[in-house]
Structure 1
Amino acid sequence: MQLNRRSFLGLTLAGSATFLAACAQEEGASQNAVAVGGTFQFHSPGGETIIRYEESERQPVGNFGGPSLMDQTQEIQLSDFAGQVVVLNAWGQWCAPCRAEVDDLQLAHEELQKQGGTVLGINVRDYQPEIAQDFKTDNGVTYPSVYDPPFKSALALGGVPTSVIPTTIVLDRQHRPATVFLQAVTFDEIMDAVRPVLEEQA
């Protein structure tokens, strides 16, 4: 269902977050992820878990980045993917829905790479990175993930709820949210959201 962003600007995240399905969240020590806020502000109308934004209504997210999950001597920034459609996926290996959707995200990544896009993971709440690394290796996941246990990246993403994991955000080529999924996603759902964005003019 397509929703007009203007119709729910007055709704608060706090009032709707209780309606959102999520894995459990734990607090932990700060990590090296950094985020710079953009102009996008997240709102969930009436607890909807799929939110779409018309092209004329979109606002850019801020840049964020941090160490690569697989090699923490390397940094990954959203700005590394300038001009590309990016499917952001906040995930943790501890989260059952995240584990269920990983094959679909990998297939979407392989398809997106052919068309000027990528999946970019944000690994959250995994304070033992080796476990998350093993999960990626065991599942043949090739798309990159920023290692961000406290989910500091949420600041750059307009305040998406850090308690809702998994969260998937389809960013257009200007890195503006086109669709936000506050639920596990399938390959078909991802591609249905991505295809019209790929067809938009850069």
Structure 2
Amino acid sequence: KPLDVADYKGKVVVINVWGSWCGPCREEAKYFSKVSQAYEGKGLQFVGINTRDTSTTPAVAFEKEHGISYPSLYDPTGKLMLRFKKGTLNPQLIPSTLVIDKDGKVAARALEALDDTTLLKMVKPVLAEK
């Protein structure tokens, strides 16, 4: 179903671009699942953007396998990534993660796989902002 990040205004949003075919994405998925569950109801919303999968079947299997419970958008051609401000995301660098602050501005960015410690180092200061 359609999703608008504006629906999460007032929350910190973690946007993770991933693909089921991507080894580093598989590696970081457990950390994203763990942090998203630990921070559920605490002002932090995760949203995935699944890219370059040829159908939703491997994407759904990936989410089940890794315990991903937050919404993911299916973006097989990368069009959603192109809607971000130029220089924000590189469609060639998967996985990529953005942390969007409560005002809708990009507060942090990683163009590599993350573990839970690194992810929390990006998220916690943004959550602490008034």
Q: Where on the TM-score scale, by shorter chain, does this alignment land: which range?
A: over 0.9
Cross-structure match for 2:115: 186
| Residue identity in the other structure for 2:79 | K
Aligned pair partner of 2:94 in 165, 175, 197 = 165
Cross-structure match for 1:102: 29
Question: Which structure 2 residues correspond to residues 50-129 of structure 1 after superposition, within 5 A?
Answer: 74-129=1-56
| Residue 128 of structure 2 corresponds to residue 199 of structure 1 | yes
Q: CA deviation at 1:114?
A: 3.3
- Select the structure of larger CA radius of gyration: 1
Work out the CA distance in 2 between the residues paired with 1:83 and 1:75: 19
Aligned pairs, number: 128
Work out the CA distance in 1 between the residues paired with 2:74 and 2:99: 19
Q: CA deviation at 1:111?
A: 2.5
TM-score normalised according to structure 2 size: 0.92
Q: CA deviation at 1:171?
A: 0.8
Cross-structure match for 1:143: 70
RMSD over aligned CA atoms reads 1.1
Q: CA deviation at 1:110?
A: 1.3
Work out the CA distance in 2 between the residues paired with 1:180 and 1:157: 13
Q: Between the two proteins, what is the percent identity of the paired residues?
A: 34
| Residue identity in the other structure for 2:128 | E
Is residue 33–residue 66 contact of structure 2 (8 Å, CA) maintained in 1? no
